[in-house]
Amino acid sequence: MSVLAAIAVLAVLILVHELGHFVAARSQGIHVNRFSLGFGPILWKYQGSQTEYAIRAFPLGGFVGFPDDDPDSDIPPNDPNLLRNRPILDRAIVISAGVIANLIFAYLLLVVQVGTVGIPQTTQPLPGVLIQQLAPDVSSVAQKAGIQKGDIILAANQREFGASQQELEALREIIKTNAGKPVELEIARGEQKFSVNLVPEAKSNGEGSIGIGLSPNVKIERHPVTNPVKALNIGAVEFQRIVTLTFKGFGQLITNFGETANQVAGPIKIVEIGANIAQNDTGSLFFFAALISINLAIINILPLPALDGGQLAFLLIEGLRGKPIPTRIQEGVMQTGLMLLLGLGIFLIVKETTQLTSQLEWVQKLFQ
């Protein structure tokens, strides 16, 4: 059920994005002949007076179709309500409406999170350092040693960690400076305490790594905000924070591509993360949806072929030239961009499926 919940979240976000395009077009009287949620074979469709509505087999996608280039359309090519015949501003509104819809929806999700569940707040620091996540590679040092997400490291090489933010950096320093050398960790897992001996492997920069993500060990509580005005304000602050962090993340991906490329997530990884949240922390599902919605908006506004930002770039060039770029060139650029995006998507799906299969095989070995 948690996987279905994650897929449902992504499907809703895609639906919101496509509804943005659809509403912006129809509200201006622009012809729309298809509205589809998903891609692949059609599972259900309904023919309205102007538009065919369809649900397709694979929900992680969607599109709004216009009759401009439909050879079967009986609308005259000079009809002023065809998208291509509308002024640049009208077309820009339609193209950017999906991004705007995702951003507005993300803000509303954060407000709902604040008002119904509350934003996580740290109330009490606890001894030790929390293992927040593990590297997906089952051959990592930590996973080989049997370390699990949620374990608490109480000490490393006899150095005990107290209830302080600085303890996390102290543990990182021990791991970094002991590449190829044995490190003894004292770990708490629920009521159980045990020791683990492992050897950090050296990264390209010579620093040690064991394949874990760390965070301070703190007690976190949520308190819903019942004041609507305050909830709107806190939601706006969270929205601004996420947008800022997302832009910083894209900036790091560009400037440090070699180090951050492995952090790029495809649909399988996103569903896996969402499933974990739905299973372990349902209260953060609104936050997860808002985060993905903002990322979807920012990715789509990038001036890349086959994305909304690429089409807006064509409109900008058209405005500067006083005439549109030849259709042949536009189609060639868009098709090239689409192939690159599809190639990236297939690569991520194959990579993440392989990692997921390796994880499942590792889990199965534990029970043999």
Active site residues: 18
Query: Using an 8 Å Cβ cutoff, are 83 and 31 in contact?
Result: yes
Q: Is 210 helix (H, G, I), strand (E, B) or coil?
A: coil
Contacts of 106 (CB under 8 A, 6+ apart): 239, 242, 289, 290, 291, 293, 294, 297
Residue count of the chain? 368
**For residues 24-42, b (16+ Cβ closer than 10 Å) or e, as one string?**
bbbeeebbbbbbbbbeeee
Q: The dihedral of CA 181, 365, 213, 269: what is its sign?
A: positive
Which among 280, 282, 11, 263 is positioned nearest to 148, based on CA atoms?
280
Query: Using an 8 Å Cβ cutoff, are 154 and 170 in contact?
Result: no
- Which amino acid is present at 54? A
d(CA 303, CA 345): 18
CA distance readout (Å), 190 to 67, 153, 193, 194, 196: 60, 12, 8, 11, 16
- Which amino acid is present at 347? F
What is the Cα gyration radius of the chain?
A: 25
d(CA 262, CA 316): 33
Residue 118 exposure: Cα atoms within 13 Å on the Cβ side: 10
- Terminal-residue alpha carbon distance, the chain: 26
